Amino acid sequence: MMNKLIFGRYIPGDSIIHRLDPRAKLVASFYFIAIIFLANNWQSYLCLGIFTFVAILLSKINLRFFFRGVRPLIWLILFTVILQILFTRGGTLYWSWGVFSLSEYGIQNGLFIFCRFILIIFMSTLLTLTTPPLSMSDAIESLLRPLHVLHVPVHEIALMLSIALRFVPTLMDETEKIMNAQRARGVDFGEGSLIQKVKAVVPLLIPLFVSSFNRAEDLATAMEARGYRGGEGRSKYRILKWSNRDSGVIVVFVIVTIGLIVLRT
């Protein structure tokens, strides 16, 4: 089940991109998604495309993984693109039938949106493929820290996030086990009508919930026994280090932004 999911998976490596500070990567990815909307002609898209391609090459990860990341979304992308092509009018009109039309602007818009989707997916896949989930949660904690002033429980959010991440594989294993145990007793998963399918999930969900409660209870006891009493007065074992490389990322992004502003029409 897990193996098919490319999104959110981490591929260990030792490239420049891998070694970047996760905060830099996280902020950069969001920033990239924002500046993608600056691009409005083929020169600017080409500029972003080359930039993304270079970033992917630097990560030394096989391109195959990125295409696999696009695959689950391909129908959504095609649907949006076709809608854009068929319903946008302007420029030279090649063909029209009722409300549908095929025009110069339509095709152009469709292609741009296609590029936008691909670039966003490639960039976010690059982020998740090169950043271990744990560093990601560290980065989120560190970036949220200023919100502490507004009484946002940053430490608690970060702790929940890291515990949640740590229990994902454990719960996946358990789900698999319960499913097999229920199958052995004659429960058919994924068979029959929609209602039957939903009903078959109950003998999976309830044991899973109950065991999660038990796990939570055990974990809380174990944490208390090891002296956990909230975020106050704790030190941190894991520390993120901002290096020159990471400042370099910011410089590169500033250059790309200026380039985009120059190139856009």
Tell me which residues touch another protein (CB under 8 A): 133-134, 137, 162-163, 165-166, 169-170, 173, 214-215, 218-219, 221-229, 233-239
Helix axes 154-184, 194-225, angle to 10 degrees: 130
Alpha carbons 224 and 129: distance in angstroms, whole number: 35
In whole angstroms, the minimum distance from the beta carbon of 132 to another protein comes to 9
Residue 158 CB contacts under 8 Å (≥ 6 apart), including other chains: 137, 138, 140, 141, 144
Block residue for tokens 């932004």: 257
In whole angstroms, the minimum distance from the beta carbon of 225 to another protein comes to 4
For another protein, the closer of residues 8 and 133 by Cβ is 133
For another protein, the closer of residues 15 and 221 by Cβ is 221
For another protein, the closer of residues 188 and 224 by Cβ is 224
Residue 9 CB contacts under 8 Å (≥ 6 apart), including other chains: 128, 129
Query: Residue 121 burial (CB < 10 Å; 0-12/13-18/19+)?
Result: buried
In whole angstroms, the minimum distance from the beta carbon of 8 to another protein comes to 15
In whole angstroms, the minimum distance from the beta carbon of 138 to another protein comes to 10
In whole angstroms, the minimum distance from the beta carbon of 10 to another protein comes to 11
For another protein, the closer of residues 88 and 137 by Cβ is 137
Q: Which residues of 78-107 are buried (b: 16+ CB within 10 A; e: fewer)?
A: eeebeebbbebeeeeeeeeeeeebbbebbb
Amino acid letter for position 138: D
For another protein, the closer of residues 55 and 159 by Cβ is 159
